[in-house]
Amino acid sequence: MERPASRQSRKKVVAVVGGGLVGALNACFFAKRGFDVELFESREDIRRAKIVKGRSINLALSHRGRQALKHVGLEEKIVAQGIPMHARMIHSLNGKQSPIPYGRKGQYILSVDRANLNKELLTAAETYPNTKMNFDHKLQDCNAETGLMTFVRLDGSKEQVKAHLIVGCDGAFSAIRKQFLRRSRFDYSQTYIPHGYMELTMLPINGEFAMKPNYLHIWPRNTFMMIALPNLDKTFTCTLFMPFEDFEKITTGDEVIEFFQKYFPDTIPLIGADTLRRDYFRLPAQAMVSVKCNPYHIGDTCVLMGDAAHAVVPFYGQGMNAGFEDCIVFDEIMDQFNEDFSAVLPEYTRVRVPDDHAIADLAMYNYIEMRAHVNSKWFLFRKYVDNI
Ligand code: FAD
């Protein structure tokens, strides 16, 4: 059954598809303006879920992202739940650690827990009386011109909903973006890099962080690297980035230890040999994709934001931050054009596409820089790590 386009309100209905980081924040932006906001998320409500599946366990929040959070009154709360990282800590093969500050004294980026951030953003969106959350609603199909969307539920039932504006925040494999692909003059490219990533947990030792907490730890090793970000529970999440073919070469627990002994010897006592033997095989390495497209909108009814518009490889630490910035840029254009979608949407594409493409290029450049030059010359290495 099709639900009506408006709930008897003076304001238009905005459907935010995807309740991840960018979708949940975007719902706050639209709700703050007084729109009737409906958020549709394919997963169950992660605030009640026992297991939350996500991309990375934690991520680096920087100035861009904080500005957007500030706009909807969330900056202080989120910052209080993050761990400042004032510098990278470079781990050499011989165990030597060298800090490289992110900026001037007092400047830092924050390590934040992805699931917690997502939960806080959903709760913040829900506090607006004009927001309705629809979990277990997977977008199956939509008509970007008419605003009609079809959702499928876990029990197989279907629901049709109509909105004045569809905001596609449904991530790198966006179902909304598929509508764009059917249209003429839509540019689209996607690139998988040969590297995958695997997350390993470093538990606290005697109740304390196993390494210095206020750093983003990096083990650069030419064709691959490992990084570690601190968590509030005093664990570190270590992320190993390596070509898939190298991941696949390691097939036994002993080979894992041999590999770590050769490249990351200082981490074995910290992660634990048994843990490494086990956790390396817990989940397969995950792929990383870079997506670029243009335009970001269709007429005055549909727009893409976050990874749906621009998935980037994570070597610049800016995917979420850029997605958050999309929200703030859109919001500013809404002011400029008095919330007239027919003017706002093309302007958003005009302003935002070049900047998002630049972030995607910088992230990819850093990935290549790392693979080709890291460790070969110190200044090139510096150039690379300066951007993480
Ligand atoms: P997502 O987080 O992917 O959320 C999309 C949401 O849409 C999900 O909840 C999904 O369930 C839902 N959805 C999908 N399909 C449908 C559908 N058909 N119907 C309804 N709902 C749907 N960024 C940073 O800024 N800093 C970092 O340090 C950082 N580190 C990273 C490390 C790794 C290893 C990776 C992989 C990424 C990292 N990123 C980082 C990038 C960041 O994860 C993404 O940019 C961010 O998650 C994008 O948010 P999003 O809301 O656009 O998409």
Tens of pLDDT, residues 234-271: 999 999 999 999 999 999 999 999 999 999 999 999 99
Q: Do residues 337 and 351 lie in contact, with contact meaning Cβ atoms separated by under 8 Å?
A: no
Q: Which of 42, 102, 178, 330 to mutate to test the pocket of ligand 1 (most atoms within 8 A of CB)?
A: 42
Q: Do residues 250 and 259 lie in contact, with contact meaning Cβ atoms separated by under 8 Å?
A: yes
Tokens of residue 264, six digits? 């990351």
- Amino acid at residue number 150: T
Q: Which residue in this structure is represented by tokens 């036994």?
A: 252
Q: Do residues 234 and 208 lie in contact, with contact meaning Cβ atoms separated by under 8 Å?
A: yes
Q: Which residue in this structure is represented by tokens 């470079």?
A: 90
| Virtual torsion, Cα 336, 338, 344, 347, nearest 10 deg | -20
Residue 294 in this model has a pLDDT that exceeds 70: yes
Tokens of residue 211, six digits? 């390494």
d(CA 135, CA 42): 6
- The answer to whether the bond into 4 is cis (omega within 30° of 0) is no
Distance 170 CA to ligand 1 centre (A): 8
- Among 303, 258, 311, 250, which Cα is nearest to 281's? 250
> Which strands form 165-168's sheet, in the order they lie side by side?
131-134, 36-40, 13-17, 165-168, 302-304, 297-298
Q: What is the mean pLDDT of the chain?
A: 92
What are the pLDDT digits (tens) for 57-76? 899 999 999 999 999 999 99
As a three-state string, the secondary structure of 59-86 is EEECHHHHHHHHHCCCHHHHHHCCEEEC
93 phi, psi to nearest 5 deg:
-60, -30
Tokens of residue 98, six digits? 């060298």
**Count of residues for the chain?**
388
Report pTM: 0.94
| ipTM higher than threshold 0.85 | yes
Residue 169 CA: which ligand 1 atom is closest? 52
Question: Residue 256 in 3-state DSSP?
Answer: helix
Of 5-14, 33-42, 73-82, 321-330, the least confident: 5-14
Distance 311 CA to ligand 1 centre (A): 8
What residues have CB less than 8 Å from 171, skipping those under 6 apart?
18, 20, 306, 307, 308, 311
Distance 160 CA to ligand 1 centre (A): 25
| pLDDT number for residue 365 | 86
Residue 308 CA: which ligand 1 atom is closest? 52
Of 104-108, 226-230, 294-298, the least confident: 104-108
Residue 229 CA: which ligand 1 atom is closest? 28
Confidence of residue 29 (pLDDT cuts 50, 70, 90): very high
End-to-end CA separation in angstroms for the chain: 48
Rounded to an integer, the average pLDDT of 74-98 is 95
How many whole angstroms from its chain centre is CA 193?
A: 17
Q: Which of 59, 116, 161 to mutate to test the pocket of ligand 1 (most atoms within 8 A of CB)?
A: 59
Percent of the chain with pLDDT over 70: 91
Confidence of residue 103 (pLDDT cuts 50, 70, 90): confident
Distance 325 CA to ligand 1 centre (A): 14
Rounded alpha-carbon distances, angstroms, from residue 81 to 112, 178, 239: 7, 36, 21
Distance 252 CA to ligand 1 centre (A): 32
| pLDDT number for residue 11 | 83
| Virtual torsion, Cα 227, 230, 233, 235, nearest 10 deg | 30
